[in-house]
C-alpha cells in the first residue's frame, strides 16, 4: 500500500463517517435498547471467552471494520505468514513461531523442507534435559543435584519465560527454583547470586546471536562468580546456552553439546515456544510445557481457519483499530484480575509496542495515521487503588482489557468471588458511569445540605461510556495461558497488517545500543567522542563519580 492508501480506502472513509455518528452514543443506551447485545458481541474460541460488548460500537460498526480488514488483504497476509513467506521483509525472514507448537504429526513446509522434525528434535532434547535435572541425574561439579536455575537474557529471551513462569506458579515442580536476570544494572545480578551456591546452580544464557550486550555482560559476571569456586572444566555442568551461534557459545566456555538452537524465523518476542522456553519447562515440567504449546496451537487453528466475523483475534484487533484510529484513544490498559499474571502487561508492552510502534510502512513510506497505542497496566485489584481514578474520571479515555479466570487455583474461601466481583464491577462502572441526577439523589439521601450537594456533585459524577473488553479463562493453566498469549500474538499481527507495518522487526531498539557502546568506552576512559552539551555533561558527572 502507498503511504496514504489506508486512509484513502473507501472502507476507512466510511468508518470515519460512521465514527462521527457513534461519537454521540452512550453505551448505557445501547444496552438498554438491545437486551441481546452481550450475546451478539461476544465469542468463544480455544477455551477462552471474549466479551467486547462494552465498546462504543454495534453490529454495523463491526461489519464496517471487517470490510476494512478485507480491503487490507488480511486473509492473504495471514496465509502468507502461515505459509512461511518472507513477511519480515526488512530482515528477509519468514515468521513461523506458530510452527513451534504444531503436533508432531503435522507438516510445515519451509524452503522445500518439512521443519516439524527439526522442531521436535529440539523439543525432545529439552525434554531429556528437563528430566535429567528433575531426577537429579544432571548434577553439579561436586555431585550435588541442581537446586536453582538462573535464566540470563533480555527482551524476548526474558519477558516471555519470566511471565509464563510467574503465571504458572501453581504448577511449579518442587525443584529447581527458577530465577531471572535481565537488567544490566549489577544490583539485579548481585542480589540473585547472593542467594545461590555455585555447586547447585545452573545458568541458562539465552541470546540468539550470543552478542547481546546486556546478556553477555551478565553471563560473564555469572561465569566469573562460578569460577571463584569451580574450574573451567566444570562450566559444562553449570552453563547451557540457547543460541544460533555455536562458535560464540564455544568461545564463551559452554560445551556446544549444551546448546539448544532455534531459528531465524523465530522472532525474540515470539520465542517462548522455542528453546527460549527451557526455563518454563524446568519450572513446570515437560508435560505441562506440552499443554502450554497445545493451548497456543488451538488458538492458531482458530485464527487460521475461522471466518473473520467469528475470529477472536481478528475481532479483538478490530475493536482496537476502532478505538485507536476512529475514536482517537492513544493508549490501552491491561488489567489482569489474576495475581500470577503480574508480568503480563509488561509482556504485552514488548509484543505490541515493539511490533507495531512504527511510523514507516512495509515499503518505507511515512505513515499519516496512528499505529500502536501505548500499552500499560497492572494486576487488579492493585490497579484500582493506583490509577483507576484516571480511567474513571481522567481527561483521556483509555480502553481496558480485563482478564480473569472463572476458577481459581487455590482453595481459600471468599477470595475469588471478591476478585471476580471487582473485575466485573469495574467494567460495569466504566461503562455506566454515574450521572449528575444519580449523584444528587445519593447525596440527598445522606441528608446533606443543598449547598453541600451542589458542591459535591461534580466531584462525584462519572462520565462513563468508557470502553473495555473482558477475557475469561476457565482457569489459569498451561493450555489456557498458551491460548491467551497466542490470542494477543495474532491480534498484534492483524493490527500490523491493517496499519501496513512490519510487525516483526525492531530497528528502533538498535540506535540506543550503538550509542551505549560508545558512551561506555568513554566512561571507562578508553575513548572520547563529541556529544551534545547535555550528554557530555552527564558523561563528565558520571566519570567523576566512577573514578
Q: Which residues are catalytic?
A: 354, 385, 513
DSSP 8-class letter at 148: E
Among residues 435, 321, 400, 404, the alpha carbon closest in space to that of 64 is found at 321
Query: The C-alpha cell of 49 is what?
Result: 471467552
Q: From CA 168, how far away is CA 274, in angstroms rounded?
A: 17
Q: From CA 520, how far away is CA 522, in angstroms rounded?
A: 5
Say if residue 26 is exposed, middle or buried (CB neighbours under 10 Å; 0-12, 13-18, 19+).
Answer: middle
Query: The C-alpha cell of 36 is what?
Result: 441481546
Residues 6 or more apart whose CB falls under 8 angstroms from that of 542 comprise 523
Among residues 311, 322, 316, the alpha carbon closest in space to that of 61 is found at 322
Q: Distance between alpha carbon 387 and the CA centroid of its chain, in Å?
A: 21
Q: Which residue reads 497466542 in cell numbers?
A: 486
Q: From CA 51, how far away is CA 377, in angstroms rounded?
A: 19
**Three-class DSSP category at 306:** coil
Using an 8 Å Cβ cutoff, are 427 and 400 in contact?
Answer: yes
Using an 8 Å Cβ cutoff, are 139 and 146 in contact?
Answer: yes
Query: The C-alpha cell of 360 is what?
Result: 514507516
Residues 6 or more apart whose CB falls under 8 angstroms from that of 139 comprise 145, 146, 237
Q: Which residue reads 488489567 in cell numbers?
A: 335
3-state helix vs strand vs coil in the chain, percent to 5 = 55, 10, 35
Q: From CA 454, how far away is CA 57, in angstroms rounded?
A: 34
Q: From CA 248, how far away is CA 62, in angstroms rounded?
A: 51
Element at 66 (helix H, strand E):
helix 59-71
Strands (E), 367-452: 374-377, 400-407
Q: From CA 476, how far away is CA 484, in angstroms rounded?
A: 10
Amino acid at each position: 500500500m502507498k503511504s496514504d492508501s489506508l486512509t484513502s480506502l473507501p472502507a476507512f472513509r466510511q468508518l470515519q463517517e460512521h465514527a462521527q455518528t457513534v461519537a454521540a452514543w452512550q453505551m448505557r443506551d445501547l444496552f438498554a435498547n438491545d437486551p441481546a447485545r452481550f450475546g451478539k458481541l461476544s465469542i468463544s474460541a480455544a477455551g477462552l471467552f471474549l466479551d467486547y460488548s462494552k465498546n462504543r460500537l454495534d453490529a454495523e460498526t463491526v461489519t464496517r471494520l471487517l470490510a476494512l480488514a478485507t480491503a487490507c488483504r488480511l486473509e492473504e497476509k495471514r496465509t502468507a505468514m502461515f505459509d512461511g513467506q518472507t513477511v519480515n521483509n526488512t530482515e528477509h525472514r519468514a515468521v513461523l513461531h506458530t510452527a513451534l507448537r504444531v503436533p508432531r504429526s503435522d507438516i510445515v513446509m519451509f524452503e522445500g523442507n518439512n521443519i516439524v522434525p527439526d522442531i521436535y528434535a529440539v523439543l525432545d532434547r529439552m525434554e531429556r534435559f528437563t528430566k535429567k535435572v528433575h531426577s537429579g541425574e544432571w548434577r553439579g561439579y561436586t555431585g550435588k543435584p541442581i537446586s536453582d536455575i538462573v535464566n540470563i537474557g533480555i527482551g524476548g529471551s526474558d519477558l516471555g519465560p519470566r511471565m509464563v513462569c510467574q503465571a504458572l506458579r501453581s504448577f511449579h515442580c518442587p525443584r529447581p527454583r527458577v530465577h531471572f536476570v535481565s537488567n544490566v544494572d549489577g544490583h539485579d545480578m548481585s542480589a540473585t547470586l547472593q542467594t545461590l551456591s555455585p555447586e547447585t546452580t545452573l545458568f541458562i544464557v539465552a541470546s540468539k546471536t550470543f552478542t547481546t550486550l546486556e546478556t553477555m555482560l551478565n553471563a560473564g559476571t555469572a561465569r566469573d562468580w562460578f569460577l571463584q569456586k569451580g574450574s573451567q572444566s566444570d562450566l559444562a555442568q553449570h552453563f547451557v546456552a540457547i543460541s544460533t551461534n555455536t562458535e560464540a557459545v564455544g568461545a564463551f566456555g559452554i560445551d556446544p553439546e549444551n546448546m539448544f538452537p532455534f531459528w531465524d524465523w523465530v522472532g525474540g518476542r515470539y520465542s517462548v515456544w522455542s528453546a527460549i522456553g527451557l526455563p518454563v519447562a524446568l519450572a513446570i515440567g515437560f508435560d505441562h510445557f506440552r499443554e502450554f504449546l497445545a493451548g497456543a496451537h488451538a488458538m492458531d487453528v482458530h485464527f487460521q481457519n475461522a471466518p473473520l466475523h467469528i475470529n477472536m483475534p481478528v475481532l479483538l484487533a478490530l475493536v482496537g483499530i476502532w478505538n485507536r484510529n476512529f475514536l482517537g484513544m492513544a493508549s490501552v490498559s491491561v488489567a489482569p484480575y489474576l495475581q500470577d499474571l503480574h508480568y503480563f502487561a509488561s509482556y504485552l508492552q514488548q509484543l505490541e509496542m515493539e511490533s507495531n510502534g512504527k511510523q514507516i510502512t512495509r515499503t518505507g513510506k511515512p505513515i499519516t495515521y496512528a499505529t500502536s497505542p501505548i500499552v500499560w497496566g497492572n494486576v487488579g485489584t492493585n490497579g484500582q487503588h493506583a490509577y483507576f481514578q484516571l480511567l474513571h474520571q481522567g481527561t483521556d479515555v483509555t480502553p481496558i482489557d480485563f482478564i480473569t479466570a472463572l476458577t481459581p487455583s487455590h482453595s481459600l474461601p471468599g477470595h475469588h468471588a471478591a476478585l471476580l466481583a471487582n473485575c466485573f464491577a469495574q467494567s460495569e462502572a466504566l461503562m455506566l458511569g454515574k450521572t449528575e441526577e444519580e449523584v444528587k439523589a445519593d447525596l440527598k439521601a445522606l441528608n446533606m445540605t443543598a449547598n453541600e450537594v451542589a458542591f459535591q456533585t461534580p466531584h462525584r459524577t462519572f462520565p462513563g461510556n468508557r470502553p473495555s473488553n473482558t477475557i475469561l479463562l476457565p482457569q489459569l493453566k498451561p493450555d489456557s495461558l498458551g491460548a491467551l498469549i497466542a490470542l494477543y500474538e495474532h491480534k498484534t499481527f492483524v493490527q500490523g497488517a491493517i496499519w501496513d507495518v512490519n510487525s516483526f522487526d525492531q530497528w528502533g531498539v538498535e540506535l540506543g545500543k550503538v550509542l551505549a557502546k560508545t558512551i561506555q568506552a568513554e566512561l571507562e576512559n578508553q575513548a572520547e567522542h563529541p556529544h551534545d552539551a547535555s550528554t557530555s555533561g552527564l558523561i563528565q558527572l558520571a566519570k567523576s563519580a566512577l573514578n
